[in-house]
């Protein structure tokens, strides 16, 4: 406790295991951060500028890319500074804020992936009703709720934790995730119940909905003509890849803390798990979606000509 400013500081001891690799991780993180922000920003601008990209699917992609930009700007600068510092500390309030941003953005990704799955389902399985179901107002509401619901639920959970007594000032992690619960002297049944509800509503439910939706798409596509099967595979495969990767990373983060499976390799695994994921969105959607790729080629060809 800092008596002068009455600020509680948390020591992140996870960096001790990574000290000899610090410059390697700094280099990788810096490159990933720059590439993610650069390509995400370009694709978002292309979607914003070109009217033929003002469709629900591309709007959801733009929202995902905004999340990637927000994730990089919120998480990576702090990680880079900690790697280059001799002592890795963070104020308790900043730790809570970092935890809030991290889980809000992660949960928002689940909701946006669920919205994209529903959009693909309507597009492939109910093409005649698509313009009526996926109106601009509905899409706007879906995007807004994908950000607001996680933010409110994570804020409630952290508010319930913020007033608990702290008995431990060291965190076996490289950033503030749900391992912050190890800081408190005891547990709260109310918070645990709410966290379980939040986990089900923000991660498990969207995950099950996405799997159910894609299963329905595959069943209907299998019964249809070759063109429908090709369209289903082309539009759904990138979403399935992102979903599986993202779900595995989130499951690892939750299980290791809940089952207390921490080890000397835990900080390394946690960092590896969330180091490369933000770059998946611009790579998967920028290179795989034909309309976006076409506009990217035009943009870079025009740049070279200039």
Check pLDDT > 70 for residue 260: no
3-state SS, the chain, equals CECCCCECEEEEHHHHHHHHHHHHHHHHHHHHHHHHHHHHHHHHHHHHHCHHHCCHHHHHHHHHHHHHHHHHHHHHHHHHHHHHCCCCEEEHHHHHHHHHHHHHHHHHHHHHHHHHHHHHHHHHHCHHHHHHHCCHHHHHHHHHHHHHHHHHHHHHHHHHHHCCCECCCEECCCCCCHHHHHHECCCCHHHHHHHHHHHHHHHHHHHHHHHHHHHHHHHHHHHCCHHHHHHHHHHHHHHHHHHHHHHHHHHHHHHHHHCCCCCCCHHHHHHHHHHCHHHHHHHHHHHHCHHHHHHHHHHHHHHHHC
Q: Is residue 113 part of a domain?
A: yes
Here the tokens at position 247 are 């779900």
**pTM assigned to the model:** 0.86
Q: Is residue 191 part of a domain?
A: yes
* pLDDT tens profile 9-52: 888 887 777 777 788 888 888 888 898 898 889 889 988 988 88
Give me the CATH number covering residue 197. 1.20.1070.10
Distance CA 281, CA 38 (A): 12
Q: Is residue 3 part of a domain?
A: no
Mean pLDDT of 201-229: 83
* pLDDT tens profile 102-135: 889 989 988 998 998 899 889 888 888 999 999 9
Q: How far is CA 11 from CA 73, 82, 167, 264, in A?
A: 22, 11, 13, 16
Q: Is residue 1 part of a domain?
A: no
* pLDDT tens profile 63-73: 999 998 998 88
Mean pLDDT of 264-272: 64
Total tally of structural domains belonging to the chain: 1
Q: What is the pLDDT of residue 3?
A: 43
Q: Is residue 4 part of a domain?
A: no
Query: pLDDT above 70 covers what percent of the chain?
Result: 86
Beta strands 89-91 and 9-12: pairing type?
antiparallel
- Find out whether 203 and 110 touch, Cβ atoms under 8 Å: yes
Q: What is the pLDDT of residue 288?
A: 66
* pLDDT tens profile 159-183: 888 778 888 888 888 888 888 888 8
Q: Is residue 274 part of a domain?
A: yes
* pLDDT tens profile 274-296: 666 777 777 777 666 777 777 77
Nearest one of 10, 1, 16 to 181, comparing CA atoms: 10
Q: Is residue 184 part of a domain?
A: yes
The total of other beta-carbon atoms located within 10 Å of residue 130's CB is 15
Q: What is the pLDDT of residue 138?
A: 93
The total of other beta-carbon atoms located within 10 Å of residue 47's CB is 22
pLDDT band with cut points at 50, 70 and 90 for residue 153: very high
Q: Which residues pair with 91 in a beta bridge?
A: 9
Q: What is the pLDDT of residue 1?
A: 43
Per the structure, the complete domain to which residue 73 belongs is given by: 9-305
Q: Is residue 15 part of a domain?
A: yes
Of residues 133 and 301, which shows the higher confidence score?
133
């Amino acid at each position: 406790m800092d008596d002068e400013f009455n600020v509680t500081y948390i020591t992140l001891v996870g960096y001790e295991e990574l000290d000899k690799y610090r410059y390697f991780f700094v280099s990788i993180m810096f490159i990933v951060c720059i590439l993610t922000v650069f390509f995400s920003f370009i694709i978002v601008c292309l979607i914003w500028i070109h009217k033929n990209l003002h469709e629900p699917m591309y709007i959801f992609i733009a929202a995902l890319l905004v999340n990637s930009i927000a994730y990089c700007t919120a998480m990576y600068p702090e990680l880079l500074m900690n790697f280059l510092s001799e002592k890795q500390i963070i104020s308790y309030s900043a730790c809570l804020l970092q935890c809030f941003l991290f889980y809000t953005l992660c949960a928002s990704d689940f909701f946006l992936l669920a919205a994209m799955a529903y959009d693909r389902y309507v597009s492939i399985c109910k093409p005649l009703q698509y313009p009526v179901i996926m109106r601009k107002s509905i899409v706007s509401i879906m995007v807004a709720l994908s950000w607001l619901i996680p933010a409110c639920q994570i804020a409630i959970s952290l508010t319930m934790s913020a007033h608990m007594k702290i008995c431990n000032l060291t965190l076996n992690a490289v950033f503030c995730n749900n391992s912050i619960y190890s800081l408190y002297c005891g547990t709260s049944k109310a918070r645990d119940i709410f966290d379980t509800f939040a986990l089900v509503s923000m991660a498990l439910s969207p995950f099950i909905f996405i799997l159910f939706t894609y299963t329905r798409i595959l069943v209907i596509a299998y019964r249809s003509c070759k063109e429908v099967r090709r369209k289903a595979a082309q539009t759904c495969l990138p979403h399935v890849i992102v979903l599986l990767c993202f779900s595995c990373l989130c499951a690892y983060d939750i299980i290791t803390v809940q089952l207390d499976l921490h080890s000397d390799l835990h900080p390394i695994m946690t960092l590896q798990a969330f180091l490369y994921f933000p770059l998946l969105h611009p790579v998967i959607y920028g290179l795989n979606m034909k309309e976006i790729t076409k506009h990217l080629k035009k943009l870079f060809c025009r740049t070279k000509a200039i």
